[in-house]
């Protein structure tokens, strides 16, 4: 990252920080409401409840993330075992 980009990023972050502090001083309730909404959205994004997962994916009754399916993995491993190992001939040994 160039120094010009770092400077602009620092200026923007400083202005955002100043604005947040001014908002906290002048409008405390509004600031706390925005902060609570942001934290709630972040929490639901990181750890969604089951009802929210079902709402966003109606075709599946229960989430199956992280659960391996036994029948699919067995059939894939059998297919791989049936194939023979093949060596593809290249250009041979090249000398520089």
Question: pLDDT at position 89, please?
Answer: 83
Q: What's the pTM value of the predicted model, to 2 decimals?
A: 0.41
* Distance of alpha carbon 91 from alpha carbon 78, whole angstroms: 33
Question: pLDDT at position 12, please?
Answer: 96
Our separate counts of H helices and E strands in the chain read 4, 0
Backbone angles phi, psi at 30, to 5 degrees: -65, -40
Higher pLDDT, 5 or 55: 5
**31-87 tens-digit pLDDT:** 899 889 999 999 988 988 888 788 877 775 555 555 555 555 555 555 566 777 888
Q: Which tokens is 85 given?
A: 């190992």
Higher pLDDT, 77 or 19: 19
């Amino acid at each position: 990252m160039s120094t010009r980009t770092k400077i602009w990023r620092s200026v923007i972050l400083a202005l955002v920080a100043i604005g947040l502090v001014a908002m906290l001083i002048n409008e405390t309730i509004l600031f706390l409401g925005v902060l609570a909404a942001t934290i709630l959205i972040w929490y639901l994004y990181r750890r969604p409840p089951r009802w929210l997962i079902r709402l966003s994916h109606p075709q599946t009754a229960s989430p199956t993330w992280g659960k391996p399916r036994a029948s699919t993995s067995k059939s894939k491993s059998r297919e791989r075992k049936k194939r023979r190992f093949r060596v593809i001939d290249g250009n041979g040994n090249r000398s520089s």
